[in-house]
Amino acid sequence: MSGSTSTKPYMVRALHEWCVDNGFTPYLAVAVDKNTRVPMAYVKNGEIVLNINDSATKGLMITNDAVTFSARFNGVSMDLYVPMSAVRGIFARENGQGIFFEPGDASEMSEEVYEPEDHDPEPTPPKKPSLRIVK
């Protein structure tokens, strides 16, 4: 379906709500890149895990494009910006239940255009995104 919105931000919002409704602490797994604004001192191996519980954030917004909020790190307030393409998963700290996205998920592929080369007799479109649910 051309022009459809990625399901990823909807899944992130739904899992965040599920965590909060059940008294769990929602954690966001993020792959850090040049477009991600997070405290670099806490990044390990190009990734960071953020507590996005209401008590740990201020002004949390989960839009179709990004997750934004303010949080304190070592007593210093910082505005964070996580593009939806950098979100690798959201899960409950207490039991690990949540959802994790494969690299190259729908939000990253939505603008990708497949152009077969002249010598490619049967073009194959990019692979469909896959989701893995952790139980």
Q: Which two tokens stand for residue 52?
A: 């996005």
pLDDT at res. 102: 84
pLDDT at res. 79: 97
Domains assigned to the chain: 8-104+129-134 (2.30.30.220)
pLDDT at res. 2: 58
For the whole model, what pTM was predicted? 0.75
Chunked in runs of 10, what are the mean pLDDT values of the chain (135 residues)?
Answer: 82 97 97 95 96 96 97 95 97 96 56 35 41 50
Nearest alpha-carbon partner for 10 in 85, 88, 63:
63
Under a CB-based contact definition with an 8 Å cutoff, are residues 72 and 9 in contact?
Answer: no
pLDDT at res. 96: 94
Which of left, alpha, beta for 119 (phi over 0: left; psi -120 to 50: alpha)?
A: alpha
pLDDT at res. 107: 42
**Would you give the DSSP letter of residue 37?**
B
